[in-house]
Amino acid sequence: MSEWWAPNSALLDSQITSLRDGGTLTESEVKELCEMAKQILHQEKNVAEVQCPVTICGDIHGQYYDLQELFRIGGPCPDSNYLFMGDYVDRGYYSLETVTLLVALKVRHPTRITILRGNHESRQ
């Protein structure tokens, strides 16, 4: 990956800690995070190569505390590899917190977390 988009690791670590503690990011921080994630995702192949062993997760649906439990059981990222199969939002009260944490982890540890698009992550 090109170096021009390289994230500020200390800032990302601080944001991830805040998100893990139930905090949120400002609108401008979320926009910046999305731009960094977009650069990473544009460079990834259509068929994901995932490092094993990997914990496979799906259908989080905004259940932030369930996501926290997945990390508690499976180990924190980047200590464990994760494959998220989509459907991060909808139904739960914490869709924004859920997807923001996953995107922040993807930007900070792009080879340790794989996020796929589910039917809830489309423009429709």
Active-site annotation holds for 109: no
Q: Measuring CA to CA, how many Å separate 31 from each of 12, 39, 47, 83, 96?
A: 13, 13, 26, 23, 13
β-strand pairing of 54-57 with 81-84: parallel
The label of the residue with tokens 């489309």 reads 122
Active-site residue list: 120
